[in-house]
Amino acid sequence: MPDSAATTADGEMNAYFDDLQGKHLDALWRGRPPAQNNTGRKAAYEPFHWAWSEIRPALMRAGELVTPGPDAERRVIQFINPHLPGFRSASHTLTGNVQLVLPGEISPSHRHSVAAIRFIIEGSSAITVVEGEPIEMFPGDLVLTPGGYWHGHVNKSDQPAIWMDSLDRPLVGNLKQTFQEPYGERLQVSTKVADAGLSRFGAGGMLPLDRKLNAGPVSPVMRYPWEQTRVALDRLAVAYADPFDDVAMDYVNPSTGGHVLPTIGCRMQMLRPNVHTRAHRHAHVSVHHAFRGEGVTIIDGAEIRWKAGDFFVIPPWSWHEHINTGGDKAYLFSTMDAPVLDALHLAAEESFEDNNGRQRTPRVDALLPESHTARKSA
């Protein structure tokens, strides 16, 4: 086509776009590269790592500056992923936070549409009351706060209580379904026996006869004790190890066998000493907390070295593999938006096939214990 004809065609198309814009319309093809449908899957944003050596001092400083009350109902520090513009959160669907309740403090009860979990990091004998059920919390415990449930906290011990919070706030916010309601200036009155859900559903392999009457998408168990989790992982290690996550188990809703919450899935994985997993990637995002041990997680070729207390996020469709660089077992807890993708039939996973399932990273051998490097090259 001669240049003059091309100019005329471009001018007509631009006039057409201007006309659409005046009607608050637009063309789907406008500004999109022709090869867009052939770009394949790729990570939506970059991972990020938060070190406990920086988090904990900042949290304890907040304990000196902030008293829970009308202006700061919860003493919470949020993780902000700088690679995720437009979101004040660790990921695009789930938050990662840490909360501090000092000895003698009460965090008044409230409820909100967003769902939350707590993974206990420090302290003992702090109590949360969830929908009238008092729950004593210990390090390594997973505690649920389903959306719409009243919940408040009190620390009756002489030690600070610290836990990880992860909420579906970014997801619920984008759906324009966020609300919050205060209970008052105090805790909700306990109306159930302590750990009622655990008493009914906590026996491995056994369920109460009335389970089908109350089966739903929210787990009836509000606390998953660390001791039960640890024992289950040790037993699994005898029989099976996943090539991508080593010894890993999902927390489940015992009445359905599904995820613990409709929007948040939870997982604990144990990396045995000297383990280097194969790489894979999946559609869901995961926010990780290193509960114990130390290691390296390689995410799209970036080496993130973590220690006990650290946090990091693995974005959707990011290749990742884990390495235990310590001399003992390492434990990684994570929250995921997998339940949402499962419900929408968007869940998918791929394994990394090149280089014997490992990403090429020039510095990885230097990060490993000498015995591990020798075993790997043997």
253-281 pLDDT, tens per residue? 998 999 999 999 999 999 999 999 999 99
Residue 367 pLDDT exceeds 60: no
Q: Fold for domain 48-377?
A: Jelly Rolls (2.60.120)
Average pLDDT over residues 18-28: 94
Cα separation of 119 and 99, whole Å?
A: 10
Q: Considering only 61-65, 92-96, 363-367, which range has the smallest mean pLDDT?
A: 363-367
Strand order in the sheet with 294-299: 302-307, 294-299, 320-324, 280-282, 349-351
The whole-number pLDDT of residue 369 equals: 52
Where is mean pLDDT largest: 3-7, 200-204, 225-229, 367-371? 225-229
Residue 126 pLDDT exceeds 80: yes
Average pLDDT over residues 111-121: 98
With 0-12 / 13-18 / 19 or more C-beta atoms within 10 angstroms meaning exposed / middle / buried, residue 264 is: buried
Identify the residue with better confidence: 4 or 190: 190
Average pLDDT over residues 100-104: 95
Average pLDDT, the chain: 90
Reading the block at residue 374, the tokens are: 């020798």
Each residue's pLDDT tens digit, 155-171: 999 999 999 999 999 99
Residue 351 pLDDT exceeds 50: yes
The whole-number pLDDT of residue 138 equals: 96
Residue 35 pLDDT exceeds 60: no
Q: Considering only 27-36, 219-228, 330-339, which range has the smallest mean pLDDT?
A: 27-36
Identify the residue with better confidence: 33 or 161: 161
Average pLDDT over residues 308-316: 98
Say if residues 123 and 139 touch (Cβ distance below 8 Å). Answer: yes
The whole-number pLDDT of residue 371 equals: 43
Each residue's pLDDT tens digit, 208-261: 888 776 678 999 999 999 999 999 999 999 999 999 999 999 999 998 999 999
pTM assigned to the model: 0.90
Closest to 308 in 3D by CA, of 140, 142, 167, 81: 140
Return the domain boundaries, the chain. 3-38, 48-377
Cα separation of 247 and 240, whole Å?
A: 7
Where residue 5 falls among pLDDT bands split at 50, 70, 90? Answer: low
Say if residues 246 and 272 touch (Cβ distance below 8 Å). Answer: yes
Average pLDDT over residues 1-11: 69
The whole-number pLDDT of residue 366 equals: 58
Cα separation of 123 and 145, whole Å?
A: 19
